[in-house]
Amino acid sequence: MRWHFHPEYEIHLVTSTSGRSFIGDYVGSFVPGNLVIVGPNLPHNWISDIARDEVVPRRSIVVQFSGQFIRDCMAVLPELGSIEPLLLKAARGIEAVQGADVEVKPIFDAMLDAEGVSRIGLFFQLLGKLQSIEFRCLASDQFTPQPDMYANQPLNRVIEHVTHSLGESITQAEMAEISGFTPSAFSRAFKAHTGMTFVRYVNRLRIDRACELLVNSSQSVADICYQVGFNNLSNFNRQFVDVKALSPSSFRRQHLDKAHARVSAPPSNQKASGIPWSEKGGHRALRFP
């Protein structure tokens, strides 16, 4: 995994694939329709669960704009001041409630083919729509972006190794050796790099993977526990409750109840319309000055 960070704000809409998301010290999952806004220099990445040699034509649509651009716009158009609370929250990364993509995807699609003033008009339309959507903060209050640390190649190698080896034994001593740090220096550097201790980071990834298996498979809780790398069921349950505030069985039952409610709900008469497009590459980005 490689951290992405830049001085622009970013509105990120996932259009295909699922996997794990990393925003600051937050670790979570994403599926198509995931809508996230990240603030300046906040490290982030979306890792899709696909084969290494698999190519996804379109994974996401990204809109970027600078803080100076939006401040200049606010100075000329005071009405834009209403989006300031949203931008302040974006400093920690914010994720929209499930289903919010239905409201904004047609605007994203239209922006891809629009040009000049039309694209700018759609951009402000998007900002207006985002104000009416419910978001939750992702990174913790304690997380402080440190751009110089994100480019640390040895730690990036460690993170990539951990991401692809969750079901195996992973020790801090081994990862310190991979990084070239002494054990104590590795501990300090890793926490500065990710915002959490190495053990907590690995546990968060394993719990997130367990959630995917609980939702998408019929495997027993015990089988999932060992598959994601825990070597004892009681510790798995304890760590799961610490992260999700409920047991693995309750998590699975809650998801099944929600899925049943969605199936039972009457169909909506609203249809999202957009402008179809296709191109090679992981995502397409629109950037404003």
DSSP 3-state assignment of 282? coil
Question: What does the block give as tokens for 146?
Answer: 């440190």
Which pLDDT score, from 0 to 100, does residue 268 have? Answer: 44
Which pLDDT score, from 0 to 100, does residue 54 have? Answer: 80
Residue 31's Cβ-side half-sphere holds a number of Cα atoms within 13 Å equal to 7
Which pLDDT score, from 0 to 100, does residue 164 have? Answer: 82
pTM equals 0.63
Tens-level pLDDT at each residue, the chain (289 residues) = 566 778 899 999 999 999 889 898 898 889 999 999 999 989 898 988 887 778 787 899 999 999 999 999 999 988 899 999 999 999 999 999 989 999 999 999 999 989 889 999 999 999 999 999 999 999 988 887 766 555 567 887 888 888 888 899 999 999 999 888 898 989 988 887 777 899 999 998 899 889 989 988 999 999 999 999 999 999 999 999 998 899 999 999 988 887 666 555 554 444 333 333 333 346 666 776 6
Residue 217's Cβ-side half-sphere holds a number of Cα atoms within 13 Å equal to 13
Strand residue runs (E) in 188-282: none
Looking at residue 245, what DSSP letter applies?
Answer: S
Which pLDDT score, from 0 to 100, does residue 272 have? Answer: 36
Question: What does the block give as tokens for 86?
Answer: 């949203």
Integer Cα distance of 261 and 249 in angstroms: 18
DSSP 3-state assignment of 51? coil
Integer Cα distance of 215 and 259 in angstroms: 10
Domain boundaries defined on the chain: 9-141+276-288, 147-194+196-245
* CATH code of the domain occupying 147-194+196-245: 1.10.10.60
